[in-house]
Chain A
């Protein structure tokens, strides 16, 4: 990995610190636009779900859960659909741009979880959850991070595929068929949303734990004083 490194001389004290350019512009742009789109899709999706909060038959209807109107976007089903069918294009667009960029720039090596990362997962879990020693990591992302981000990207792809299956169950009937039919496709789409929200929760906890410099790196690209240099 040929990341750019900056050796920064403090103009007042003369002390030297270092920073690494971790996140290229396209990655940061896609991250933030996609984050906004994701939140809008979740809350407009819950509005759509409210119209028939069940995965069984209409008659008799057994509601799965009552989602409060105050936590749904769009005001009513039609409004929720307008938000959903608008931002799905932004979500798909940033997703494709991101994946295309990662492949083209070969930046995917920073993110993609590969078999050689398997060994490093347990030590990270041991460290985070059971107060184990902090493993030595030489890259921007540790193996557990790679696993989390790779899973999140896969979930993003799944959210689009399951969404297309319920948006166009006739034109893409083979997609709905793959998921076990229209009923199941709707359930999968809902389940994938919760899986993405579970990732988001863990992601936000880690952002808080890892501090300001780490957060800034997703804004400006530069990470000051990284642990791994």
Chain B
């Protein structure tokens, strides 16, 4: 199709086509310091929303053969503050609060009385490295039943002896592979790995697997998402 025009009209036509592209300039909002933070927060929030939709309660993370497990000595020790917050393991209890029928202090023996599960799963750090570890403990969903957690509650929040804190959405908390972990490599947790009790969640990124747990709260409203989340990491970070 050929149409006739003159150079003046053609210039106007080109200008119109150029102006149509002006929506591209909207991306410039990311360069404005005042807008950059809220925009990136919204972007991360959208990613978290999509992640929660992608999470399938019945889908299990891959479990590995014993021969594929990373040797214990090569399982990195990560913490944000101290390797050993100096817990008195004899006197340790887990303090349960929030929307539960039976709040109070729970001993390790009470948690260990729940069915024990052992699993070889992948632990992925947000930095990019990963290891396959062997973990053992009670299912968090069993513990939630024991304490009479409100089934309509939406979050589990935990606090740690080193002042670290974390949270889990209820769907992940009830996932069959989410453990209150007291064993690694068939041995009681060592202090650097979070003795006496840590979270172990194969469907979540590493920083969600809080160590040295001291408090657990069941809640409808998320008070504190987590230490790293408050620095700018994703609140959901499901794998």
Contacts and interface: CB of A to CB of B under 8 A. Distances in A.
Interface string A176-194: 0000001100100000000
Contacts of B221: none
B128 interface: yes
Interface stretch (A24-32, A135-143, A146-154, A197-205): A24-32
A183 B130 CA distance: 8
B103 interface: no
A78 B228 contact: yes
B126 interface: yes
A94 to B, nearest CB: 10
A93 to B, nearest CB: 11
Q: Which 6 pairs from chain A and chain B are nearest by CB?
A: A86-B43, A52-B128, A78-B232, A58-B129, A51-B127, A170-B239
A213 B79 CA distance: 57
18 contacts: A5-B3, A6-B2, A7-B3, A8-B10, A10-B7, A11-B6, A12-B7, A51-B127, A51-B128, A52-B125, A52-B128, A86-B44, A86-B47, A170-B203, A170-B239, A171-B54, A220-B17, A221-B17
Given A54-B129, A77-B127, A89-B47, A222 B7 contact: no
Interface in B48-88: 51, 54-56, 59, 61-62, 70, 73-74, 76
A86 B40 contact: yes
Given A6-B3, A54-B129, 9 more contacts: A33-B27, A57-B129, A81-B126, A82-B40, A82-B41, A82-B232, A85-B44, A89-B43, A173-B62
A33 B202 contact: no
B18 to A, nearest CB: 5
B5 to A, nearest CB: 5
A77 B234 CA distance: 12
Contact of B239 (A19, A52, A54, A171): A171
Given A33-B24, A36-B27, A186 B238 contact: no
A170 B202 contact: yes
Contacts of A36: 24, 27
Interface string A24-61: 01001100110010001000000011011010011101
A206 B41 CA distance: 38
A168 interface: yes
Contacts of B13: 6, 222
Given A33-B24, A173-B62, A58 B76 contact: yes
B188 to A, nearest CB: 22
Contact of B7 (A8, A25, A51, A183): A8
Interface in B1-42: 1-8, 10, 13-14, 17-18, 20-21, 23-24, 27, 30, 39-42
B164 interface: no
Contacts of A88: 47
Contacts of B55: 171
A169 interface: yes
